Amino acid sequence: MNGVPAGDYSLIWLPLEGWDTPTPPQETRTLSSGGAVSFAGSYRRWTGRVQVDVAPEEIPAPWVLTGPEGTVQEGTGRALLDELPVGEYTLQWGEVDGWFSPDPQASTGAVERNQTVVWEGRYAPMPGEVRIVVTPDTLPAPWVLSGPDGLTTEGAGEASLSDLPTGDYTLTWGPLEGWDPPSTAEVTGTLDPGGELQFAGNYERWTGRVEIRVEPEEMPGQWTLTGPEGPARSGVGSSVYEAIPVGEYTLRWWHVDGWIAPQPSQVTGVVRRNETLVLEGRYERAVGELTVRVLPDGLAAPWVLTGPSGFEAEGEGTRTFTGLNTGPYRVVWGEVEGWTAPAFPTNRTLPPGGSVIMEGAYTASTGTVVVAVEPEESEGAWVLQGPDGTVDSGRGTRTFTGLPPAAYTLRWFATPGWEVPDPATVDFTLAAGATETIAGTFRAGSATLSIFFRPSAIPAPWRLTDPFGSVTTGEGTATLSGLQSGRYRMTWLDILGWTTPPTVEIEIAEGETASVQGSYPLMRDPYATNDSLSRVAALGGPLVPADDGTVLLETEVARLDEDGRSRFFGFTSDPGSAIAVRVDPLESFGHPLDAQSLGIRIWRQDSGGSGGWTLMGQLNLQPRGASEYHSPILYSGPGFAGDGTWAAEVYSAGTRTGRQLFRVRVSNAAIAP
| CATH number for domain 47-125, candidates 3.40.50.720, 2.40.10.10, 2.60.40.10, 2.40.50.100 | 2.60.40.10
pLDDT at 363: 83
pLDDT at 428: 93
pLDDT at 562: 67
Question: Any bridge partners for residue 63, and if so which?
Answer: 75, 93
| CATH number for domain 367-444, candidates 3.40.50.2300, 1.10.10.10, 2.60.40.10, 3.40.50.970 | 2.60.40.10
The verdict on domain 447-519 having CATH code 3.30.70.580 is no
pLDDT at 556: 81
Composition of the chain by helix, strand, coil, percent to 5: 5, 55, 40
CATH code of domain 536-667: 2.60.120.380
Q: Which residues contact 475 (CB under 8 A, 6 or more apart)?
A: 459, 460, 461, 462
Q: Identify the CA nearest to 269 among candidates 291, 300, 244, 286.
A: 244
Please give the torsion angle defined by the CA atoms of residues 417, 422, 425 and 429, in that order, rounded to the nearest 10 degrees: -130
Question: Any bridge partners for residue 48, and if so which?
Answer: 84
Answer whether 572's CB lies under 8 Å from 646's CB: yes
Ordered DSSP codes for 293-352: EEESTT---EEEEE-GGG-EEEEES-EEEEEEESEEEEEEE---TTEEPPSS-EEEEEPT
Q: Which residues contact 55 (CB under 8 A, 6 or more apart)?
A: 120, 121, 122, 123
CATH code of domain 128-205: 2.60.40.10
pLDDT at 575: 79
Ordered DSSP codes for 442-459: -EE--EEEEEEEESTTS-
In total, the chain counts a number of residues equal to 673
| CATH number for domain 207-285, candidates 3.40.50.300, 1.10.10.920, 2.60.40.10, 2.60.40.420 | 2.60.40.10
Residue 376, Cβ density class (10 Å: 0-12 exposed, 13-18 middle, ≥19 buried) = exposed
Amino acid at site 131: R
Q: What pTM was estimated for this model as a whole? A: 0.36
Helix (H, G, I), strand (E, B) or coil at 6: coil
> What is the sign of the dihedral through the CA atoms of 547, 548, 550 and 552?
negative
Same fold flag, 447-519 and 536-667 = no
As a whole number of angstroms, the distance between CA 55 and CA 58 comes to: 8
Answer whether 322's CB lies under 8 Å from 345's CB: no
Instruction: Assign domain 287-364 to its CATH architecture.
Output: Sandwich (2.60)
- ω before 375 within 30° of 0 (cis)? yes
Measured CA distances, 669 to 35, 491, 580, 632, 641 (Å): 207, 41, 6, 15, 11
Please give the torsion angle defined by the CA atoms of residues 294, 299, 301 and 306, in that order, rounded to the nearest 10 degrees: 30
Amino acid at site 379: E
As a whole number of angstroms, the distance between CA 557 and CA 329 comes to: 97
Helix (H, G, I), strand (E, B) or coil at 609: coil
Domain ranges within the chain, ordered by starting residue? 7-45, 47-125, 128-205, 207-285, 287-364, 367-444, 447-519, 536-667
pLDDT at 655: 61
Report the b/e string of 233-268 with b at 16+ CB within 10 A.
beeeebbebeebbbeebebbbeebeebbbbeeebbe
Measured CA distances, 232 to 215, 249, 250 (Å): 22, 10, 10
Residues of the chain with pLDDT under 50: 524-534, 588-591, 623-641
pLDDT at 488: 93
Measured CA distances, 272 to 209, 234, 250, 338, 370 (Å): 8, 21, 14, 74, 84
